[in-house]
């Protein structure tokens, strides 16, 4: 039995006017909110001339013992980041053209996210800098100094059912198919 921490993280997504002649708007995650309210979907938080920011979703960030090495790599890479997966929303009548599909603090896990051509799914991966408060939580988790009240047992070291679908992730974190991933930035 290993330990885990689950934190509700709100993702702020910006809709910006694009200079691309084939795309009117560009959608990208720009920041996160610690301990965000759950159940919030696409709530406008800021509007300016060519940009609108939305609290797009609140997802659980699950930190597990088995990913501690990945978190150490994240903390050592200069700017500790949360990796946000935006998925094209291809459903007809969808309110927004993208949806927040997954978040993780593991750079190894995010390498296995790509496209599922058979299902017509396209994922976009963006790095969002962690706020200082979350950097401290991540560092204390890696150093095993997290208060016991925040720790939760996690059977077999696996993520909670709210985590990503198992079929989308390979068993080896470095086997990601980079040719099929889109990074914007």
pLDDT by residue (tens digit) across 80-93?
Answer: 999 999 988 766 66
| Tens-digit pLDDT profile for residues 23-73 | 778 899 999 999 888 888 899 999 998 899 999 999 999 999 999 999 999
pLDDT at 112 > cutoff 80: no
Confidence of residue 8 (pLDDT cuts 50, 70, 90): very high
The pLDDT value recorded for residue 23 is 75
Tell me which H or E stretch contains 109: helix 107-110
The pLDDT value recorded for residue 180 is 37
The pLDDT value recorded for residue 163 is 42
| Tens-digit pLDDT profile for residues 117-176 | 455 567 889 999 999 999 999 999 999 886 655 555 555 444 443 444 333 333 333 333
> What secondary structure letter does DSSP report for 184?
-
DSSP codes, 121-161:
B-EEEEEEEPPHHHHHHHHHHHTT-S-TTT-EEEGGGPPPT
pTM: 0.74
All structural domains of the chain with their residue ranges: 2-183
Q: Are 51 and 43 within 8 A, CB to CB?
A: no
With residues binned 3-state (H G I as helix, E B as strand, rest as coil), the percentages for the chain, rounded to 5, are: 20, 40, 40
């Amino acid at each position: 039995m290993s330990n885990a921490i689950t934190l509700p993280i709100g993702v702020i997504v910006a809709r910006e006017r694009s200079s691309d002649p084939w795309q009117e708007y560009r959608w990208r995650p720009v920041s996160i909110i610690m301990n965000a309210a759950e159940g919030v979907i696409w709530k406008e938080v800021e509007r300016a001339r060519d940009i609108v920011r939305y609290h797009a979703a609140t997802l659980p960030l699950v930190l597990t013992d088995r990913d501690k090495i990945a978190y150490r790599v994240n903390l050592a890479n200069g700017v500790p980041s949360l990796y946000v997966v935006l998925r094209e929303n291809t459903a007809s009548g969808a309110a927004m053209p993208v949806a927040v599909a997954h978040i993780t603090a593991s750079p190894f896990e995010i390498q296995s996210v790509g496209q599922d051509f058979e299902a017509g799914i396209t994922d976009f991966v963006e790095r969002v800098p962690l706020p200082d408060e979350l950097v401290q939580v991540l560092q204390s988790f890696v150093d095993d100094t997290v208060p016991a009240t925040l720790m939760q047992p996690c059977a077999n070291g696996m993520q909670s059912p709210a985590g990503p679908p198992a079929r989308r992730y390979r068993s080896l974190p470095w086997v990601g198919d980079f040719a099929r991933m889109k990074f914007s930035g």
